[in-house]
Amino acid sequence: MNFLFFLQSFLFLIFPAFSSEELIYFPDGSIEARGDVEFESEDFLFSSESITFDKESASFYSESLIEAKSGNLVFILDGIYGEFDDQTEMIKKLTSNKFTLKIKSEEKFSSVWNFSGDDFIYSDGLWSFKNINFGNWQPVTKSGLLIRSKTCTLQKITNDLYRLNFENVDFYVLSKKVFSLDSLQREFRSNEDFGNILSFAPVIQNHPDEGSMLGFKLQDFGVFGGFLSGYLSLSESGKSELFFDGKLPLQKDSYFSLGLGSVFEVGKDGKGYWVSSSPSYSFNRSFKKKDEEINVKFSAGRFSLNDGNLFHATGSAATYKKTFENFVLRSGFSRFKNNQSAYESLHGSISFPFDFPKGSIVLGFGSRDVSGLHPIPSRQEYSWSGPVLSSIFSFSENWAFRTNSEWDINDETFITNQITLIRSFNGLGLSLIFDTKQKLTSFSIELLSF
């Protein structure tokens, strides 16, 4: 009886968060925990219906289904064997024959995806897998976009930043193999949407100046590290423009961006402008702590409006964000200049987020003060102060709407009032956007996004 008490005390000592409905002692010195078993190490929180602990070998094992949480990562393991260090309370090694990985994304209405494979091994902060199926449709082998990989490793870089390394990768679209790669690397933050390895979206717009416009958008193609985007637009008036933006990672939380081409912009008055760059480039740097974030951007380039003369312009911007328990503070400054004029903008806001079972609302108050003349008309005359309201709600399993509105207390008119209707499928998103101020209607179909 004293020996049993010793073993039970040992479990609570190694795993302070240990709990179960029943403990069964065996003559070989092991203990089986049954019924809502839960215990926590420094790296994982384990949940199962049955887990057996063996003090002699400093190990634990189970043939039941195991849920192992590490931050926002949730592994579903088909049986498990683990070894722990009774000095550091850390898991030294963890293995399982089959697994499924889920990420609890904080992004609402992100596409459903699946990550599963064989030979799960965790050791010294590194996960290793084999025979990976990574896709966004159910079942993943018959439709949508699917990545298959012979081997894969998952490494935790910082508190919430992870890196995936795939080896011998095959890409499938609608069950057809389209190309292969020797290796593929992808970084993601566990509290963000894991998606956007490949996003291709046809976009249809209607604007009073240009008439009907057809666009094709490609962004975050994972083969290039998630740092390539492009947009092709064709208008009823005969304009055809192509814009590419490539980002080169320099170090942690910084990258260099190079853009080339033209984009269509809409001003506050609803008038449309074609803005071309030949080329433009920028340097972006972020500094992040637990509840603070600073972003700095330096940019320069040669631009033109509606096929007019090119002008050279440079600029910089800095933004600061502080998150408190119930509200968020933001502030920022930007300056943009050319040979003849300069444009400066100072802005700040306070917002209060409210989460509901089927959506969220953000209510805030913001202010933006502008001085000088920006060379691009669509970026002028944005000085305002007033309330801000944005929301996103699901009114059925796959339907949702999003709103974004700003009021100006000086002239009591909408600065922005945008309404979006969303239809979500696994790997397929339909959206209809109408801007009441700019009188711009957009319809897009986003395919193969995960």
- State both tokens at 191: 């509290």
CA distance 228 to 249: 11
Ranges of residues in the chain with a pLDDT under 70 are 1-17, 86-89, 103-113, 136-145, 159-160, 173-175, 189-201, 219-228, 252, 268-269, 397, 424-429, 437-440, 444-450
pLDDT of residue 437: 67
Tokens of 440: 């711009």
Residue 349 CA to residue 332 CA, distance in Å, equals: 9
Measured distance CA(148)–CA(287) in Å, rounded: 35
> What's the pLDDT at 423?
75
Provide the whole-model pTM. Answer: 0.64
- 64-95 exposure pattern, b = at least 16 Cβ within 10 A, e = fewer: eebebbbbbbbbebebbebbbeeeeeebeebb
Give the pLDDT of residue 2. 40
Token digits of residue 344: 């400066």
What's the pLDDT at 318? 96
Count of CB atoms situated within 10 Å of the CB of 396: 8
Beta-carbon contacts of 176 under 8 Å, excluding residues fewer than 6 positions away, are none
Distance CA 14, CA 91 (A): 11
pLDDT digits (tens, 9 = 90+) for 112-162: 567 889 999 998 778 999 998 887 655 555 555 678 899 999 888 776 678
pLDDT at 103: 62
| Cα 105 to Cα 92, 219, 299, distances in angstroms | 27, 20, 32
The pLDDT tens digits of the residues spanning 20-76 come to 788 888 877 778 888 888 877 777 888 888 888 887 777 888 888 888 888 777 889
Count, residues in the chain: 450
Number of helices and strands in the chain (H, E): 1, 27
pLDDT, position 199: 60
